[in-house]
Chain A
Amino acid sequence: MDHDNRDRNAGSGGSPPGKIPGDTWADGLPKGRRWSGIAWSLLFLLVPVLGSAVFIVAPYYDHWLPKDVSVHGKSIDGLFYFILVLTGVVFLATELILFWFMWKYDAAASSKPATYIHGSHTLEVVWTIIPAATMLFLAIYQMNTWADVKMRRPRMAPSVEVVARQFEWRLRYPGRDETLGTEDDLFVVNDLHVPIDEDFLVQLKSMDVLHSFFLPNLRVKQDAVPGMKQPVWFKATETGTYDIVCAEVCGWGHYKMKGRVTVESRADFDRWLARIEAEQKATQRGPEEIPVAAAD
């Protein structure tokens, strides 16, 4: 074992060996202490322990998914929890294995030489096929939810048109004739009202740059792209007033592009529409003259 240092540069024409202070193992590397190997493995044990603790504790302090008030939200949240459990198990298993190997195979823990092995065909096959099957299952399993939220548009005329601009949400309800683009359209800014338990179809547009129409409590998010019309639909299940957030950076005022969505009974919704209609008629103004908080 004394030859190790002398022979380390065989083939290099005999050069001075590396100078490392302190004791060395037979492999020529500096001796570590057992306690330091223990300490380092415990540090890595903190990753799965504290990592899962954070996810367990956070919901108790209301640092968790905001209350869901939509039909789609149920399946989106269900999928979130499914993936959370799946990845949580893999996370715990791999991190604990890493900790255990670090603890056990510390050079200071035993004098056995390292196992001379280049791999295992069987293991490679196993740990390729199991994740492949899992991921494929996950891919197929979620397709239905995606189709419900983004592909199976309800057959109805748009309930409202939302036009995003720096930095506000301009809303246009179709009015009594239930058709957008007619004279009785009703105009509102940043104050979306939605009847409960009904399919609600938004026609989303942008006037200037990209924006993203984000309703956290309804699990809705869709970019608004100038030059395109995006259909967005959902069914709200609980009355209340919730946030509308812009989720795509749209300029300096991005942070304050805030709206509110009010989910209410059909009767309340109709009353609100009637009030808006009355206000609009009383002021006798067209859409272009609606006083809005301009971008500047």
Chain B
Amino acid sequence: MSTVTQPHAPPKETAHHDHVATRGSTSLSTFLSTYVFSKDHKVIGLQFLFSTLVWFLIGGLLALAVRWQVAWPWSDVPVLGKLFAQHGGQMAPEFYTMLFTMHASVMIFLVIIPILAGAFGNFLIPLMIGADDMAFPTLNMLSYWFMWPAFFFFGASFFVEGGAAAGGWTSYPPLSTSTVSAPGSGMGQTLWLLGLTMVGVSSMLGSVNYMTTIILMRAPGMTMFRLPMTIWAMFITAILQAFALPVLTAAGFMQLTDRLIGTGFFSPEGNIINNAMSGAGGGQPLLWQHLFWFYSHPAVYIMILPAMGMVSDILTTFARKPLFGYRPMVYSIAGIAGLGFIVWGHHMFISGMNPALGVTFMVATMMIALPSAVKTFNWLGTIWGGRIHYTTAMLFAISFVSMFIIGGLSGIFMAATPVDIFIHDTYFIVAHFHYVLFAGTAMGVWSGIYFWFPKMFGRTMNEFWGKVHFFLTFIFLNGTFFTMHILGAVGFPRRLADAYHYETFHHLQPLNAFMTWCAMGMVATQIIFAINFFWSMFRGPIAGRNPWNANTLEWTAPSPPGHGNFDFQPVVYRGPYEYSVPGCEKDHLMQTDPPHPAEAAAAAAAHA
């Protein structure tokens, strides 16, 4: 298990006895232990990747259905309308509230969080720190298998009476705690809470594993400040998850008991919903908001920090240049994570929370813009003076920076409490978090997929179709999301099945129709990605160990790495970003390359 071995140790025979044990038994049990109940971090990572990509597709289709209703309210939904067959394909308003609730829930809990931590975290952490696997392989396997109850609960909730949860992904009580408040607040909401709990268990198992692995299993010579940014980001993300998640899990259970056994944590005395008395009373709806956002605001960073780390590594690789300001980059991630715990109240400026408290949260929120700005400037510094290669991975990484600037700056509007009064719960917010989460994280994820695909499958993805995929996604995403800022400026509210009967908003339909066309284009574009992905898995050009001439440890392993990852003991001599060292005959010094005279000279020159 341990990688603490002598430097230059001979290649390992085997890393895992369980692998050997299954050899020779029936092919079915070999198949099951290798691909299904595998304890290999790479297989688990890929299991997470495939599952989350399937849910990404489902979440995307839910988004299209939402966009359809927003653009052309009450008109028959083509194709899918037949499936839910309400009034000949017309969408009912309660169906619409279910759609946006489940779109957000699926995207956040079943796509973004597990694809970053589960897929990339699992696949990359042992490889990038030079370990043969995670510290707790069984726990790791369980972290994936605990996602399946969540998949089941979320998936099944669409088919129960009343449909899936319809109280928004924030699930604010009393709408969510009262079983009579809305059609989706029956069984669907209970299943939603159970699913959420399972996602929490999975994340918790993962984060314990990631922290332990990164602290204990680094290869010889791999000091903390020689870790690639991806690993730093995963490490801090794991800490965030471990400390924030218990609060959400507890809150989820409180909401469950409110619903199932009539406790009154979140419903006040004498509440009458839909002409029925609700619950025991004595609770406080705002309590849920505090507990929910105490997790879900740090979760916002759980949803972006790993992408920031991956993008940092990819930018340096294709700019052939050391990362600008490595330590400031690490400190700013830590700063974002630390401040991330004291800004949750900015979701509650107009919730009825004491406005004086809002001032405190506003100042903390303004300050969290600072490490984000530092990161952006350092990314720009990284490509300055570089030799940029426009690969698909690089284009997605650059677009992450470009789009994160928009998403970061628009956040300042809502951090300003008085402005938030007007734009809160409008499309301005929707624009902001889609720029961070879709135009940021999702683009970072694609960048990571194109970049690490050779390591995952031993083959490279098609660059031409990758660029077509990038170009169309980039155009359509801006067409869809940039215009949302304008809707928000008019005050166009979120989550309305039809807002055009309001005098203030009646003229916004053409703009919404344009955005829906762009959204359809964006989803259709992903067909290119899917074909490229599967075609390249089997037919792409063989990649070799290090197709991008990158420096980090995973590129010294075979592609794809076998069980136990490395066929030699990696020993680390330097940080991950030694590109273009003057006087060195090759333009990159890998972390495992023995010390080179040119680097000492270059270091001396740099500090002179």
Within 8 A of B (CB), among A67-118: 72, 75-76, 79-80, 83-84, 86-87, 90-91, 94-95, 97-98, 101-102, 105-107, 110, 112-118
Within 8 A of A (CB), among B105-136: none
- 19 interchain pairs, CB-CB under 8 A: A9-B590, A10-B592, A11-B556, A20-B547, A63-B490, A83-B412, A110-B387, A113-B320, A114-B321, A116-B321, A117-B324, A135-B412, A219-B422, A226-B268, A248-B425, A249-B494, A250-B175, A251-B175, A255-B499
Q: Which 9 A/B pairs are nearest by Cβ-Cβ distance?
A: A227-B268, A18-B544, A115-B385, A11-B592, A252-B94, A119-B325, A18-B547, A150-B355, A114-B580
Task: Assess whether B271 is interfacial by the CB under 8 Å rule.
Answer: yes
Task: Assess whether B449 is interfacial by the CB under 8 Å rule.
Answer: no
Within 8 A of B (CB), among A246-292: 246-256, 258
Task: Assess whether B416 is interfacial by the CB under 8 Å rule.
Answer: yes
- Closest chain-A Cβ to B416's Cβ sits at a distance in Å of 5
Tell me which of A95, A120, A138, A166 contacts B181 (CB under 8 A).
Answer: A166
State A25–B387 Cα separation when bound (angstroms): 11
Q: How many contacting A-B pairs (Cβ < 8 A)?
A: 417
Q: Is the CB of A107 within 8 A of B387?
A: yes
Q: Is the CB of B409 within 8 A of A75?
A: no
- Closest chain-B Cβ to A32's Cβ sits at a distance in Å of 5
Task: Write out the residue numbers on chain A whose beta carbons fall within 8 Å of the beta carbon of B542.
Answer: 19
Q: Is the CB of B474 within 8 A of A28?
A: no
Bitwise interface map of A from 26 to 38 toward B, beta carbon under 8 Å scored 1, else 0: 1111101000110
Q: Is the CB of B567 within 8 A of A54?
A: no
Q: Is the CB of A223 within 8 A of B350?
A: yes
Q: Is the CB of A216 within 8 A of B491?
A: yes
Bitwise interface map of A from 228 to 249 toward B, beta carbon under 8 Å scored 1, else 0: 1010000000000011011111
Q: Is the CB of A135 within 8 A of B369?
A: yes
What range describes how many residues of A lie at the interface? 35 or more
Q: Is the CB of A138 within 8 A of B412?
A: yes
Chain B residue at smallest Cβ distance from A152: B355
What range describes how many residues of B lie at the interface? 35 or more
Q: Is the CB of A227 within 8 A of B285?
A: yes
Q: Is the CB of A94 within 8 A of B405?
A: yes
State A8–B359 Cα separation when bound (angstroms): 55
Task: Write out the residue numbers on chain A whose beta carbons fall within 8 Å of the beta carbon of B581.
Answer: 116
With A18-B544, A79-B418, A252-B183: A117-B606 Cβ-Cβ less than 8 Å: yes
Task: Assess whether B521 is interfacial by the CB under 8 Å rule.
Answer: no
Task: Write out the residue numbers on chain B whose beta carbons fall within 8 Å of the beta carbon of A178.
Answer: none
Which of B36-44, B151-159, B290-298, B500-508 participates in binding chain A?
B500-508
Chain B residue at smallest Cβ distance from A135: B366
Chain B residue at smallest Cβ distance from A257: B496
Q: Is the CB of B175 within 8 A of A249?
A: yes
State A136–B370 Cα separation when bound (angstroms): 10
Task: Assess whether B4 is interfacial by the CB under 8 Å rule.
Answer: no
Chain A residue at smallest Cβ distance from B426: A247
Chain A residue at smallest Cβ distance from B508: A63
Task: Assess whether B76 is interfacial by the CB under 8 Å rule.
Answer: no
Tell me which of B374, B463, B486, B496 contacts A255 (CB under 8 A).
Answer: B496
Q: Is the CB of B352 within 8 A of A16?
A: no
Task: Write out the residue numbers on chain A whose beta carbons fall within 8 Å of the beta carbon of B356.
Answer: 151
Task: Assess whether B594 is interfacial by the CB under 8 Å rule.
Answer: yes
Among B93, B318, B471, B581, chain A packs the most CB atoms within 10 A around the CB of: B93
Given contacts A226-B267, A245-B491, 11 further A-B contacts (CB under 8 A): A9-B546, A18-B549, A28-B549, A65-B491, A79-B419, A101-B384, A117-B324, A124-B378, A209-B172, A248-B172, A251-B181
Q: Is the CB of A212 within 8 A of B425?
A: yes
Task: Assess whether B138 is interfacial by the CB under 8 Å rule.
Answer: no
Bitwise interface map of B from 465 to 491 toward A, beta carbon under 8 Å scored 1, else 0: 000000100100010001101110111
- Closest chain-A Cβ to B349's Cβ sits at a distance in Å of 8
- Closest chain-B Cβ to A4's Cβ sits at a distance in Å of 5
Task: Write out the residue numbers on chain A whose beta carbons fall within 8 Å of the beta carbon of B324.
Answer: 117-120
- Closest chain-A Cβ to B50's Cβ sits at a distance in Å of 25
With A29-B548, A116-B322: A146-B417 Cβ-Cβ less than 8 Å: yes
Task: Write out the residue numbers on chain B whose beta carbons fall within 8 Å of the beta carbon of A132.
Answer: 367, 370
Task: Assess whether A164 is interfacial by the CB under 8 Å rule.
Answer: no
Chain B residue at smallest Cβ distance from A251: B182
Chain B residue at smallest Cβ distance from A37: B390
Q: Is the CB of A107 within 8 A of B388?
A: yes
Task: Assess whether B13 is interfacial by the CB under 8 Å rule.
Answer: no
Which of A43-51, A169-177, A186-194 participates in binding chain B?
A43-51
- Closest chain-A Cβ to B73's Cβ sits at a distance in Å of 9
Q: Is the CB of B172 within 8 A of A27?
A: no
Task: Write out the residue numbers on chain B whose beta carbons fall within 8 Å of the beta carbon of A209.
Answer: 172-175, 178, 181, 273
State A113–B602 Cα separation when bound (angstroms): 14
State A123–B319 Cα separation when bound (angstroms): 20
Q: Is the CB of A123 within 8 A of B381?
A: yes
Task: Assess whether B541 is interfacial by the CB under 8 Å rule.
Answer: yes
State A55–B489 Cα separation when bound (angstroms): 10
Q: Is the CB of B503 within 8 A of A242?
A: yes
- Closest chain-B Cβ to A9's Cβ sits at a distance in Å of 5
Q: Is the CB of A51 within 8 A of B482?
A: yes
Task: Write out the residue numbers on chain A whose beta carbons fall within 8 Å of the beta carbon of B485.
Answer: 54-55
Task: Write out the residue numbers on chain B whose beta carbons fall within 8 Å of the beta carbon of A180.
Answer: none
Q: Is the CB of A105 within 8 A of B388?
A: yes
Q: Is the CB of B93 within 8 A of A255?
A: yes
Q: Is the CB of A212 within 8 A of B97?
A: no
Among B319, B377, B570, chain A packs the most CB atoms within 10 A around the CB of: B377
Within 8 A of A (CB), among B329-355: 350-352, 355
Q: Is the CB of B413 within 8 A of A87?
A: yes
